[in-house]
Amino acid sequence: MLAMAQNSLTICLSKAERDQKTPNRWTLAVSAHIETGSQTPLDAIIDITLDGKPLVAKHSQQLTADPLGSVKSDFVITIPNNIPITSWYPNDVADNTQQLYSLQVRLSFTRQSGSVGSDQTNRFPDHKSDAEPDPRRWPHFEVNGHRVFAKGSNWIPANVLQEDLTEAYVRDLLVSTVSANMNMLRVWGGGVYESDVFYGNNEIESVIAAFVSDERHKQNYRELFVKHMQTLVTAGDTSRPFVTSSPSNGLRDKVENYTAKDPGDLRYGDVHSYNYMSPQWDSSVYPRDKFISEYGQLSYTSLDTWRTALPDSDTTYQTSSSVRHKNRLGDSVLPLLAQKAFTTHQYYTDLDMLSGIVQNEGTSLAQMVAPGIQNMTITVEKFAELVNASKALFYGLNKTTITEFYVKHVNNSDPQAMRQAYYDYYGDLLIKCPTYLFAKKYQELSAGKSNAHFYELTYQGKGVGWLCPAGQLCHGAEVLAEA
């Protein structure tokens, strides 16, 4: 008997679109992915239903797994007339069209001793999304033949601890998205793969969920995102164009071999706009482009938090001075470089300043800036060479003095010790010394009107940060610190 635990089934709805020859009929492209522990051919019986009505009944098929135990079975199905389909449109385009349909695929495997099955149910809307393939017009968005003006936001993980998320909390965020008249959510690729609670929620169906140095690095980028990712994604989803990156110039990126000199060209989109220094309520500070997929802004505290301390009158536009005080970094505290602000006293002196560092700031930062350095053999000469390279960003460094200071108490024949000495130098240069100097100068120049507090994090119960070896506290570790 074939054990149930040996098989798992995943449904992938590749495409749902109108029949080209008969516009009032729809077709579904369905892929069933089966993971099995058996290397022998499986005699399967496949049943597919839509909202409980049969589309495929008792279809017999022999499935043979590849060497990794994976099987894929594809179906293109015409939906019968007795199953009414409503064309889906996003929020603010057509009301009451965001209907979900329940697609169930069931596999039964027969054996002399009996039969076992595996099934999965997906909920989905019937819509065809597209982006204009003409590079001169890219991007424009079209859903079921209707051109859509994108109004939306980026979705990042709703909680750093995914297990703390509740369906009610996710639904509240999605309802807020619809209430704000958004019709698109761009799911940030640096987050997590969202759960079925997110994609299966009725409110998400009111918006479109959109997914996405040196020459050696460019080659590696093309190898991963063009050769492999593009091949895999387009094979699994033929319903929409594939874009290799964001920001991007769309299909025009191919002209520059997918590593454009200006991947956020305002003539093409898609563009990221980060502007921390301009007044955020002034619409003229934002670029005019075909499609802006990210706006980087200094976030306000959540409205729920404001209301625990402020009256409602303070939290409506125009906001009160107490609310505007929160975002004074952008246009009031330091609109200038720190050195010039301190020299000209163009900053507020009525704020207490809390500045801090962690014990091993440079370990992860150096690896992010110079991938591969963790495998580099660093001699005294190489150390001096690396210090000299820093002069491109930091004027006036004396490589001889700096090298002698950091390696004088280090075993020069120990590659790991020399590498750590460089990490220490890099952390001091980039984070520790500037942060300490900033706090010190702020205290000195505030003339007793405010206080500057400075800390170094040297202990943490668990979690040490990204690219950080055991026993160290690296850049960003303070966000994981325990009380």
pLDDT of residue 413: 92
pLDDT at 55 over 80: yes
- Helices 399-407 and 380-389, packing angle to 10 deg: 130
Tokens read off for 202: 């009725």
pLDDT band per the 50, 70, 90 thresholds, residue 5: very low
pLDDT at 406 over 90: yes
The winner for highest mean pLDDT among 28-32, 233-237, 254-258, 320-324 is 254-258
3-state secondary structure labels for all residues of 367-385: HHHCCCHHHCCCCHHHHHH
pLDDT of residue 333: 46
- Average confidence score pLDDT of the chain: 77
pLDDT at 113 over 80: no
pLDDT of residue 465: 58
- Between 449 and 385, the more confident residue is 385
Distances (CA, A) of 386 to 379, 405, 406, 461, 468: 10, 14, 13, 33, 21
Beta bridge partners of 184: 152, 208
pLDDT at 202 over 60: no
pLDDT in tens, 351-402: 788 899 999 999 888 888 776 788 888 999 999 988 888 876 777 889 999 9
pLDDT at 190 over 60: yes
Are 322 and 310 in contact, with CB atoms under 8 Å apart?
A: yes
DSSP secondary structure letters along 172-224: HHHHHHHHTT--EEEE-TTS-PPPHHHHT-TGGGGSEEE----HHHHHHHIII
Burial class (CB in 10 A: 0-12, 13-18, 19+), 437: middle
- Helices 415-427 and 399-407, packing angle to 10 deg: 120
pLDDT at 311 over 60: yes
Question: What mean pLDDT is predicted for residues 99-118?
Answer: 65
pLDDT at 21 over 50: yes
pLDDT of residue 4: 30
Percent of the chain with pLDDT over 90: 11
Tokens read off for 454: 């400075």
pLDDT at 434 over 80: yes
Percent of the chain with pLDDT over 70: 77
Q: Which of 128-142, 216-230, 336-350, 448-462 has the lowest mean pLDDT?
A: 128-142
pLDDT of residue 275: 77
pLDDT at 411 over 80: yes
Question: What mean pLDDT is predicted for residues 293-312?
Answer: 80
* Kind plus residue range of the DSSP H or E element containing 55: strand 53-63
Question: What mean pLDDT is predicted for residues 442-465?
Answer: 78
Q: Where are the domains of the chain?
A: 4-127, 150-210, 215-296, 335-480
CATH homologous superfamily for 4-127?
A: Immunoglobulins (2.60.40.10)
pLDDT of residue 448: 76
Enter the pTM of the model.
0.59
Question: What mean pLDDT is predicted for residues 114-128?
Answer: 51
pLDDT of residue 131: 53
pLDDT of residue 324: 63
Q: Which of 27-41, 275-289, 318-332, 333-347 has the lowest mean pLDDT?
A: 318-332
Tokens read off for 12: 């992938």
Question: What mean pLDDT is predicted for residues 142-147?
Answer: 80
pLDDT band per the 50, 70, 90 thresholds, residue 286: confident
pLDDT of residue 323: 64
pLDDT of residue 157: 84
Cα angle value 340/343/349 (rounded, 5°): 100
